[in-house]
């Protein structure tokens, strides 16, 4: 593999992509847990509304989501106005902005597997824990979370892979600034714009192989239907 294809800017883009994917996955697994639990236990019209809002990024074009986030985080937007009043740096064209966009964009890929895991376990484990006088918190930590572990694994794989491959949202929010907001997908875009197709081929092939193994790992989980909640 020619060394020129992996210069410092390319390595920086790969490193930033992995960093963004890791942080996004950790944030979403923590954030998705209470929301998925509420969605799995609540039966009302509000659940349908919240569930639909959570799933919007699946059908909404990434450029549309990125545009509205760009406006919201900008100096004239509601969030940007608050950061300006607090004398904080702008979230647009920064890692923090990319993280916010990635969390929102990958939210359904974390919520749905965990919610399905919670729903699949039924109420019997909770009833047994209650008869043993376990507190709700003890029940959740020592009963619910272990039973839902496969759902968390599925959510983690999906969120990580989805974040590494995202393009529209990160391009709208972060642009394509080398060493600051440039990730693998936007690096490929830059190579194509510059007609550097050989470099684009190497990075695109890496993404293709990565996506294949991510799906292969999920296929392996599906071989155990009692432990998989997709």
Which pair of structure tokens corresponds to residue 132? 């043993």
Range of the domain at 189: 3-227
pTM summary value = 0.87
The mean per-residue pLDDT over the stretch 75-97 comes to 87
Give the per-residue pLDDT at 95: 92
- 51-66: pLDDT as tens digits: 889 999 999 999 899 9
pLDDT band at 5 (very low <50, low <70, confident <90, very high): low
The mean per-residue pLDDT over the stretch 32-50 comes to 87
State the Cα–Cα distance between residues 110 and 19, nearest whole angstrom.
18
CATH code, domain with 205: 1.10.3720.10
**How many separate domains does the chain show?**
1
- 154-171: pLDDT as tens digits: 999 999 999 998 898 999
The mean per-residue pLDDT over the stretch 171-192 comes to 90
Q: Which residues, other chains included, contact 9 with Cβ-Cβ below 8 Å and sequence gap of 6+?
A: 178, 179, 182, 187
């Amino acid at each position: 593999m020619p060394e020129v294809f992996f210069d410092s800017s390319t390595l920086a883009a790969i490193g930033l992509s992995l960093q963004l994917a890791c942080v996004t996955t950790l944030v979403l697994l923590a954030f998705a847990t209470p929301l998925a639990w509420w969605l799995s236990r609540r039966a009302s019209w509000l659940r349908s509304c919240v569930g639909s809002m959570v799933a919007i990024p699946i059908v909404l074009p990434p450029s549309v989501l990125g545009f509205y986030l760009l406006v919201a985080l900008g100096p004239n937007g509601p969030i940007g106005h608050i950061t300006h009043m607090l004398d904080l740096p702008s979230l647009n064209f920064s890692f923090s902005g990319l993280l916010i966009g990635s969390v929102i964009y990958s939210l359904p890929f974390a919520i749905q597997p965990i919610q399905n895991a919670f729903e699949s376990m039924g109420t019997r484990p909770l009833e047994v824990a209650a008869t043993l006088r376990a507190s709700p918190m003890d029940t959740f930590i020592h009963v619910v979370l272990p039973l839902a572990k496969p759902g968390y694994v599925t959510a983690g794989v999906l969120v990580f892979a989805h974040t590494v491959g995202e393009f529209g949202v990160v391009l709208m929010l972060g642009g394509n600034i080398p060493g600051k907001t440039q990730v693998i997908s936007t690096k490929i875009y830059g190579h194509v714009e510059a007609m550097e197709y050989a470099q684009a081929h190497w990075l695109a092939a890496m993404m293709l192989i990565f996506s294949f193994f991510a799906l292969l790992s999920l296929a392996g989980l599906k071989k155990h239907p009692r432990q998989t909640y997709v």
